Structure 1
Amino acid sequence: MREFSDLTPLFDPRSVVLVGASEREASVGGRTLANVLDHSDFGGTLHLVNATRPEIRGMRCFRRVAELPAVPELAVIAVPAAGVMEALRDCAALGVKFCVILTSGFGETGDEGRAAEAEMRALAEASGMRLYGPNCPGVTNINKRLGFTFSPAFANDLRRGPIGLATQGGGLGRNLLQSMERGTGFALWCSTGNEVDLQVADFIHYMAGAPDVTVIGTILEGIKDGPRFLAAARAAAEAGKPVVALKVGRSEYGMRAAASHTASLTGSAAVNSAAFRQLGIIEVDDIDELVDVASLLARGRPRGGERIAVFGSSGGACALAADMVGQAGLVLAELAPETTEALAARLPSYAALGNPVDTTTVTLTNPGVIEETLAVVANDPAVSLVMMPMPLDYGPVSHTVAQRMVAAQGHTQTPLVPVWMSERTGAAYRCFAEAGMVPMRSLRNAAKAFRRFVDHGAWRPGTMPAGLGAGLPETPLRTLSEAEGKAMLRQAGLAVPDGVLARSGADAAAVAARMGFPVALKIASPDILHKSDIGGVVLGLRDASAVEAAFAAVTEAGARHHPEARIEGALVERMAPPGGTEILLSVSRDPVLGHVMTCGLGGIHVELLRDVAHRLLPVDAAEAGRMLRELRGFPLLEGLRGAAPCDLDALCRAMAALSALVEARPEDFEEIEINPVRAGAEGEGALVLDAVVTLRD
């Protein structure tokens, strides 16, 4: 993996060359020049390159980058696609370290464009020059008011703040920036375009170390380099900076659209989500939720278990807010007696003094009391967040209330969160926005954001995913026989029943007699994976004649259903003890993010309910326990309604042993499916009953 570069010269360069500078206001080069000269606070050296004009806006133009009198830290390329490679070669020859390629018309257009990108990538690798783009809107450093971008909205989107954005897709990224209208403040924004070199991962890694960024937001359409993304996300987690992510491409429709847009792999949605959970990345479902959650995290750090207060002047809105809190699985704080006494001293006798706190019409007759009572509630020792439903706009009255609520925020560290429910967004709404209190637009959205906030506070780092087996070239695959696969698992430390491969019915009967009845008999063929589906498994055989008959039946079924299959005989195994719970356990290789473990309750729980949990490797016993506890059916493993609990320790050890087997040789394994593992009662262990091992040749 290529080392992460310090991107400071990209976001805060001392000298820049604009290649393709133009006087035409509507052109990419013209808009970029205007943003730098008219709307940025750039105090460094600016060079202009234009092949046909000697000067623009009184500034000298050079015909080519090669003619520049000094080496700029940053080059911004705004020439048509046909001229990009010449400009990049000139930059590399001069020693420019960073190039922003605004120009489109490359990988997103087809094979010819992808070939041009391959040439760019080769130039970057040979020269050490880093490329951002192509097909990107440029660099926006809001905290330093620097815009090396052609966006006509740059001049209007300049509310400073602590949130850094790294997005794939310029339109959605700019949409996020324009949440500044409700008070969100941003530090940096980069939209990575076609990612010929620098990727979203590089920008997340940079923001993890940027002192003016405390929260990172990202929109992902695809991850090209899984281990690089995982390393960047680990850096953010280690720096204590929450990452809030919207992953496009979680449905079949979204995957197709994302692939056509970015020409990158979207990856498995389940695997992506598993990686996000392991890394503490907060996955959200839409743009407005990303803004809500990132803005809330920018105002305070959760610890887990936060309690909520609801404060408002509409009884119905407060009741609905409390309902949303409950539906989100959150907990309303129980106010201290001192808090209730202070409220009773300041509010009318008919006000609701519990939680929710309903001040009623006092907002109309005495709005000054809002500041005092809201601060009292926010400073209650049980309260971590305050939800303030605002169902309507009363014009000047609402504006006065908003001002008092803003003043109350100055008396407490507890985030006060207005929820603006009205379609009218007048002076009161703008008052909240200007104070950076970021009004949320519905009670449902607010409760969902609070839920994400609380859950992130409860997250604790476990084993971090390493991207084992990611990015390997495609190779032929080979499936081991069940006997071979189980022998490998036994050697790795998993418990496997005694079993012997028999070549004939008589051989099978003799093996069973030596082993001791009852036995199970299974067709042995590397070409038949789902043996039960064709009648290739017979259980509970109690004498030699039954074993011989079963051998004939399973081999005949195999030849009938799979006439091309290689049938090696039948595997005779000692029957597992009765009872226990069947568990599906597998490790499969995701091409982008690497090997992922899946576990779930067997039978209908997997086939019908899809009750499974996923983790990227490595998985140790502690992480295995957390996986099992994510299952909806976990109470069955604990012993539901008096049933004996399963041997969870043995099951976790088996999962860790399976992980260790693949960790030792990730390049060799494509998939291991154990279906089922029999988890016995406490002390009985976890036994591998069936396994399919697929290797990479």
Structure 2
Amino acid sequence: MKPFADLSRFIYPVNVAVVGASARPSSQGGRLYENLVRHSRIRGKVYAVNPAYCEIGDAPCWPSIRELPDGDIDVALVIVNAARVLDTLRQCAERKIPYAIVMSSGFSEAGDAGRALENEIAQLCRDTGLHVYGPNCPGFVNVRDRIGMTFSPAFRHDLNAGCIGLATQGGGLGRNLLQGLSHGQGVGLWFSAGNEVDLEIPDFIACMARDPQIKVIGLLMEGVKDGRRLTAALDLARECGKPVVVLKIGHSEAGVRAAQSHTASIAGSAAINSAVFRQFGAIEVDDLDQLLAVTRLLAMGAPKAGSGLCIYTFSGGTAALATDIAGMANLPMAAFSDQTHATLKSLLPDFANIANPVDTTADILRDQDAANDCLRVICNDPHVGAVLFPIPMDYGDVTDGIAQSIIDVSRATATPIVPVWMSRRMGGGFQLLEQHGLQPFMSVSTAIAALSRIWPSAGMQPSSAPTSEDAEHGSSASEGPDPARQQLSEAQSKALLKQAGFPLPLSEVAISAPQAARAAARIGFPVVMKVVSSDIVHKTESGGVHLGIDSEAAAAAAFDSICAAVAQAAPAARIEGVLVEAMLPAGGREVLVGVHRDAAFGLVLTFGLGGIFVETLRDVAHRMIPLQRQDARNLLHEIRHTAILEGVRGQPPGDLAALEDLILQVSAFAERHADTLLELEFNPVWLGPVGQGAIALDALIVTSGHQEARAILETDANP
């Protein structure tokens, strides 16, 4: 895996060169140069480069990078015609300039010619060590140090700095987020990635994860270029204690490739993205408003584990509404300490509700000091993780006082106070809260939706991250195997998997009716019989499955019936025989364990309810391979109907320990064969009661070719 770039000289450069600087203020080159010379705090020099000028303003202008005066240059900003970019970058490499920002358009977004030019830039980076940011991007902004390497005319106005880091794959929407954080904690660093020819979103995440001044990282992503590098960066952020909030555009499943197995067809790119974000601790949100809201809340401080929400207001109806919405979002409600309860009782009138939700009634609004004391007491309660303060109406001076109370108390407490301004009349109180960085939500629902994203979950434990060796191995696997797909028959798949040590029923392949009868007798009745054919995926639909066979005569008859039915239903299919297999007892639950290759993240494991429920319920969860024990445990509890596995209506609990073992065995097998395995599916897996195990009843393997299939067989012959 390519290491993350050291961006220290990039985010805080001493000397920069502007290739394409212009004396025309309305041009992009003119605005870029002006942003650096007039509106930025560059410690060293800004060199203008353009053969059309001898000077710009009072400063000299050089014709090329080669002709610049001797001395270190940290970043070259390139805003010239696409045809001139490659030569300019070669000059940067010759001058040992470590970074270049290419803002010019006309690359992969413009067609094949632009894509070829972009490939040449990528090769130049590999050959010389030059790091290129972009192309086709608006630049980079270091808000906190006031460095605007961007042509945006808005740079000089968007300078509210703070502890939030942004990385976006869109310039316009990135600016929207920057302006959405115009009060309170703002943005420290904003990376707008462009086409990511060299420097990519993972490099920016890693940079911000290591930056002591960045507290929260917000991502706006349209695509995932290198899934394994992305997860390594997310894991680094988690190690550094930097929460990552991500909005991934593209939740529609339209266009997802239909695959032979259920595993791939029910996975879908959006589901995989969401599962991987969850696996590596990122908080996924649904829209721009949520991205802003959640990053803002995390900048204030996440609630501590085991704490609950307090709803605090002066309106009984508002308290009931907010509590109802919080309940639907499964947010835990705080239980006050005895001391908090006693203090509130002494401060509030007898008819106030001093349990949670707190309804102070409008009576307290007449006493500013008492209002402050009540709010302060609640914020200091050790069981309160955050206070939601809905303000249902604008009451002029009264709500101005409420706003001031929130501002005063928030300065003296670490507990986040989340105001909600519910009125469409934006009075003075709203303006006060906004200006002091306590940007009010506009509805209780949106506030609670944001809080539910950041509240520590008591259920799921964090997954263990793959090691760097795992990530490197997975990365090479996802670069794309031989496209020639080779699907093994069920019998071939099971023979391979049996050699690898997987739990499977006793079975034999028969090529005649008498042979089927003898095989059934050896295995023991009852048996199930299934057609063996690499050309048939769904055997039941073609008449290729018979269950509950209890005699040799029935086995012989089933053989003939299967061959006749399949020949009629699928005349072109090659029939290689009939699999005779031990039939497991009734009462087991059926689950699916599968693996498929995702274009971004490599091999991904899917777990869920199996058998006939796969496509109807679509109750599945995903993890990127390799999995650790905690990943397997989390998967079992992540599906919606996990209660079925634990035992309902008098059923004994399933053997979940054996199921965890099977999931880890599948993960290890897939990891060993990451270069050649395309799909693996056990569906259904029979899950017996505790102590009876988890046994794969049906198996499918797809590899990248005949030679690879044989290699897997040879590798796993002696597991």
Instruction: Specify if TM > 0.5.
Output: yes
Against the structure 1 CA distance between its residues 441 and 459, is the aligned structure 2 distance closer, same or farther, given a 3 Å change threshold?
farther
AA in 1 matched with 2:483: T
Against the structure 1 CA distance between its residues 128 and 104, is the aligned structure 2 distance closer, same or farther, given a 3 Å change threshold?
same
SS in 2 for 1:332: coil
SS in 2 for 1:156: coil
AA in 2 matched with 1:343: L
SS in 2 for 1:570: strand
AA in 2 matched with 1:624: A
AA in 2 matched with 1:294: T
Percentage of matched positions with identical amino acids: 45
SS in 1 for 2:181: helix
Residue 676 (structure 2) pairs with residue 675 (structure 1): no
Match of 1:556 among 561, 564, 572: 564
Instruction: Point out the more displaced range, 626-635 or 132-141.
Output: 626-635
Task: Tell me how far 1:306 sits from its aligned partner.
Answer: 2.5
TM-score computed with the length of structure 2 as normaliser: 0.92
Partner of 1:166: 167
AA in 1 matched with 2:662: A
Match of 2:620 among 612, 615, 635: 612
Cα distance in 1 between the residues matched to 2:399 and 2:81: 52
Cα distance in 1 between the residues matched to 2:397 and 2:34: 39
Instruction: Point out the more displaced range, 283-292 or 483-492.
Output: 483-492
Residue 522 (structure 2) pairs with residue 514 (structure 1): yes
AA in 2 matched with 1:175: N
Cα distance in 1 between the residues matched to 2:173 and 2:459: 30
Partner of 2:715: none
Task: Tell me how far 1:437 sits from its aligned partner.
Answer: 2.4
Cα distance in 2 between the residues matched to 1:622 and 1:363: 50
Partner of 2:126: 125
Cα distance in 2 between the residues matched to 1:491 and 1:254: 37
Partner of 1:525: 533
Stretches of structure 2 that go unaligned for 5 or more consecutive residues are 258-266, 706-719
Partner of 2:417: 416
Partner of 1:628: 636
Cα distance in 2 between the residues matched to 1:154 and 1:398: 35
SS in 2 for 1:589: strand
Partner of 2:247: 246
SS in 2 for 1:17: strand
Q: How does 1:102-117 map to 2 (within 5 A)?
A: 102-117=103-118
AA in 1 matched with 2:433: F
Cα distance in 2 between the residues matched to 1:516 and 1:255: 44
**Cα deviation 1:253-276 (Å, max 9, x = unaligned):** 6999xxxxxxxxx98111111111
Match of 2:487 among 479, 489, 493: 479
Cα distance in 2 between the residues matched to 1:656 and 1:510: 36
Cα distance in 2 between the residues matched to 1:339 and 1:325: 22
Task: Tell me how far 1:583 sits from its aligned partner.
Answer: 0.9
2:158/2:179 contact within 8 Å kept: yes
AA in 2 matched with 1:431: L
Cα distance in 2 between the residues matched to 1:173 and 1:492: 50
Partner of 1:684: 692
Cα distance in 1 between the residues matched to 2:332 and 2:302: 18
Against the structure 1 CA distance between its residues 318 and 573, is the aligned structure 2 distance closer, same or farther, given a 3 Å change threshold?
same
Q: How does 1:325-364 map to 2 (within 5 A)?
A: 325-362=326-363, 364=365
SS in 1 for 2:495: helix
Task: Tell me how far 1:558 sits from its aligned partner.
Answer: 2.3
Q: How does 1:274-313 map to 2 (within 5 A)?
A: 274-313=275-314
Partner of 1:500: 508
Match of 1:638 among 646, 656, 660: 646
Against the structure 1 CA distance between its residues 504 and 255, is the aligned structure 2 distance closer, same or farther, given a 3 Å change threshold?
closer
Against the structure 1 CA distance between its residues 514 and 351, is the aligned structure 2 distance closer, same or farther, given a 3 Å change threshold?
closer
Task: Tell me how far 1:305 sits from its aligned partner.
Answer: 3.2
Match of 2:555 among 522, 540, 547: 547
Residue 141 (structure 2) pairs with residue 140 (structure 1): yes
2:302/2:455 contact within 8 Å kept: no
SS in 1 for 2:384: coil
Cα distance in 2 between the residues matched to 1:436 and 1:519: 70
1:668/1:696 contact within 8 Å kept: yes
Cα distance in 2 between the residues matched to 1:516 and 1:357: 68
AA in 1 matched with 2:548: G
Partner of 2:20: 20
Task: Tell me how far 1:280 sits from its aligned partner.
Answer: 0.5
Task: Tell me how far 1:684 sits from its aligned partner.
Answer: 1.1
**Cα deviation 1:277-312 (Å, max 9, x = unaligned):** 110000111111111111111111344333011112
Cα distance in 2 between the residues matched to 1:376 and 1:183: 24
Instruction: Point out the more displaced range, 210-219 or 470-479.
Output: 470-479
**Cα deviation 1:72-121 (Å, max 9, x = unaligned):** 11001112223222221221222111000111121111111111111111
**Cα deviation 1:336-391 (Å, max 9, x = unaligned):** 33323322333334433222222333465233332211101111222110001122
Against the structure 1 CA distance between its residues 49 and 374, is the aligned structure 2 distance closer, same or farther, given a 3 Å change threshold?
same
Instruction: Point out the more displaced range, 453-462 or 59-68.
Output: 453-462
Task: Tell me how far 1:35 sits from its aligned partner.
Answer: 1.4
Task: Tell me how far 1:418 sits from its aligned partner.
Answer: 0.9
Instruction: Point out the more displaced range, 506-515 or 424-433.
Output: 424-433
Q: How does 1:11-410 map to 2 (within 5 A)?
A: 11-70=11-70, 71-252=72-253, 268-362=269-363, 364-410=365-411
Task: Tell me how far 1:150 sits from its aligned partner.
Answer: 0.9
1:282/1:456 contact within 8 Å kept: no
1:620/1:655 contact within 8 Å kept: no
**Cα deviation 1:107-136 (Å, max 9, x = unaligned):** 111111111111111111111100100111
Against the structure 1 CA distance between its residues 157 and 253, is the aligned structure 2 distance closer, same or farther, given a 3 Å change threshold?
farther
Task: Tell me how far 1:551 sits from its aligned partner.
Answer: 0.9
Cα distance in 1 between the residues matched to 2:541 and 2:405: 70
2:591/2:683 contact within 8 Å kept: yes
Against the structure 1 CA distance between its residues 312 and 645, is the aligned structure 2 distance closer, same or farther, given a 3 Å change threshold?
same
Cα distance in 1 between the residues matched to 2:598 and 2:482: 12
AA in 1 matched with 2:48: L
AA in 1 matched with 2:626: P
Task: Tell me how far 1:610 sits from its aligned partner.
Answer: 1.0
SS in 1 for 2:632: helix
2:253/2:270 contact within 8 Å kept: no
Cα distance in 2 between the residues matched to 1:627 and 1:267: 17
AA in 2 matched with 1:193: G
Partner of 1:259: none
Task: Tell me how far 1:489 sits from its aligned partner.
Answer: 1.7
**Cα deviation 1:468-516 (Å, max 9, x = unaligned):** 2322244211111212211222222221111111111111112112222
Instruction: Point out the more displaced range, 457-466 or 607-616.
Output: 457-466
Cα distance in 1 between the residues matched to 2:296 and 2:308: 19
AA in 2 matched with 1:24: R
Instruction: Point out the more displaced range, 683-692 or 462-471.
Output: 462-471
Instruction: Point out the more displaced range, 281-290 or 385-394.
Output: 385-394
Partner of 1:260: none
Instruction: Point out the more displaced range, 103-112 or 331-340.
Output: 331-340
1:280/1:456 contact within 8 Å kept: no
Cα distance in 1 between the residues matched to 2:292 and 2:34: 29
Against the structure 1 CA distance between its residues 48 and 431, is the aligned structure 2 distance closer, same or farther, given a 3 Å change threshold?
same
Task: Tell me how far 1:161 sits from its aligned partner.
Answer: 1.0
Instruction: Point out the more displaced range, 455-464 or 380-389.
Output: 455-464
Cα distance in 2 between the residues matched to 1:453 and 1:372: 27
Against the structure 1 CA distance between its residues 521 and 56, is the aligned structure 2 distance closer, same or farther, given a 3 Å change threshold?
same
Cα distance in 2 between the residues matched to 1:360 and 1:117: 65
Stretches of structure 1 that go unaligned for 5 or more consecutive residues are 257-265
AA in 1 matched with 2:322: A
Task: Tell me how far 1:631 sits from its aligned partner.
Answer: 1.7
Task: Tell me how far 1:242 sits from its aligned partner.
Answer: 0.7
**Cα deviation 1:611-636 (Å, max 9, x = unaligned):** 11111111244322210111222111
Instruction: Point out the more displaced range, 620-629 or 374-383.
Output: 620-629
SS in 2 for 1:507: helix
Cα distance in 2 between the residues matched to 1:251 and 1:287: 17
Cα distance in 1 between the residues matched to 2:440 and 2:57: 43
AA in 2 matched with 1:684: Q
